[in-house]
Structure 1
Amino acid sequence: MTEPVLELREATIQQEGQPVLADVSFALQKSEFSYLVGRTGSGKSSLLKTLYADLPLLSGSGTVAGFALPKLPASKIPYLRRKLGIVFQDFQLLSDRTVAENLLFVLNATGWKTKTSKQQRIIDVLGRVGLTGATNRLPHRLSGGEQQRVVIARAMLNEPVLLLADEPTGNLDPEVSDDIMRLFAEINNSGTAILMATHNFQLIDKYPHRVLTCKDGQLLDSARSLN
């Protein structure tokens, strides 16, 4: 078996200096899809933030996309994040820039050089999420579902090995949520691993995958309970 795209061993996940999850051990393989569930405050977002190095891993071991998380130098964090796609519930799009300009901002920040390659990549990812005609529109001119598609396109710019999604359907109605899940399935089937935090158990029932549950300071793994 190839090296996992994500692996934690006996990790303690902390928020504001306080442990919220202890003895966390799990791995995610290439092309695997897993949900992350749990009540508000149970540690889901803190776990995701640890994985993209917004919070330090102070205890235990962990690797993400080939980067060791403990003592990861600040200078290496941008290189880790180039291997990841991150999808937020609240979109975090630049409101004064068009869709294309939002994507161009990321490409410029992550080292893309030629104008032609950047333009082509923007066309490619917008085509992939079904928004080819939206390049010159401002975010506020888009529906919530369209804005989330732009966020997913932004997350896919650097062909990530792992997509981390924090409540990506939390602000969307059921029909649009289904569209986003189908898009995630396409991305996952093309080889990108996905870890998706959600409260939406209807989606989990409709699109079943492995479930990681944050509960009482522990991370419970449905894959482990089946073995």
Structure 2
Amino acid sequence: MEIDSRPVVEVSEADIKQENHTVLSGINFKIEKGEFVYLIGRTGSGKSSLMKTLYADLGFDTGAIEVAGHNLSKIKANKVPYLRRKIGIIFQDFQLFPDRTVTENLIFVMKATGWKDRIKMKGRLAEVLMRVGLGAAADKMPHQLSGGEQQRVVIARALLNEPVILFADEPTGNLDPEVSSGIFKLFTEINRSGTAIMMATHNHKFIDDHPARILKCEEGKLLDSAKDEFNWNSHY
């Protein structure tokens, strides 16, 4: 079997827009399989808009973007679920159904992404909850969990379909430092197992403690530490 060596993300001369206003112009970058990349920049600099474009929540009309083998410039609405099966999305604000148990939250996503075999679903559910350290939380409601535990459920949800890349938008923004550290450690473990990660963050400590490639949104451009000289630690 031929191994797919293409980057998991490839962006060429793309303009990123938010409500018809261009926030980033002419951007170019690739993310390879298994790579860990930080996305930084001031509030309003285009970080979230870039991420939303990469998981097809926002459209674009200039340039080319390919994510997990999908050409996003031509992707139709009915094909977006197929893209979402290959990627994982982790939000700052959890977005769990408050009236459903952890299991029910995960089952909802599995059904929405095409799972049908109940035995396989049950097995995969147990696997991802164990992986994030929540093996005993399957029957709990979100309000019975701490913020850190809820974020671990969100990570478990993102891992259900064995994604090639996780897009994490300020995943520790609402958590205290000690809990944030545990969540970040989980991301590094997931990355070491081969899943690429793109993490938007304002947390300098993560970058200090776990140096990796940095993409910085600044004044309408995207700077890349792999080829550009810049001070990542200044004013963001």
State the TM-score, normalizing by the size of structure 2: 0.94
Q: Which has the higher helix share?
A: 1
CA drift at 1:3: 0.6
Deviation per CA, 1:166-224: give whole Å up to 9, x if none: 00010111111111111001111111100000111121111111110000000000111
Q: Give the gaps of 5 or more residues in structure 1.
A: none
Aligned to 1:188: 191
Matches within 5 A, 1:1-227: 2-225=5-228
Whole-Å separation in 2 of the counterparts to 1:160 and 1:126: 16
Q: Report the aligned-residue RMSD.
A: 1.0
Q: Give the gaps of 5 or more residues in structure 2.
A: 230-236
CA drift at 1:71: 2.5
Q: What SS does the corresponding residue of 2:56 show, helix, strand or coil?
A: coil
Moved over 2 A (4+): none
Q: What SS does the corresponding residue of 1:171 show, helix, strand or coil?
A: coil
Corresponding pairs, count: 226
State the TM-score, normalizing by the size of structure 1: 0.98
Q: What SS does the corresponding residue of 2:25 show, helix, strand or coil?
A: strand
* One-letter code aligned to 2:23: V
Whole-Å separation in 2 of the counterparts to 1:7 and 1:180: 27
Deviation per CA, 1:74-133: give whole Å up to 9, x if none: 111110011110000000000000001100000111111111111111100000000000
Deviation per CA, 1:28-60: give whole Å up to 9, x if none: 000000000001110000000000001112100
Whole-Å separation in 1 of the counterparts to 2:20 and 2:185: 38
Whole-Å separation in 2 of the counterparts to 1:141 and 1:223: 43
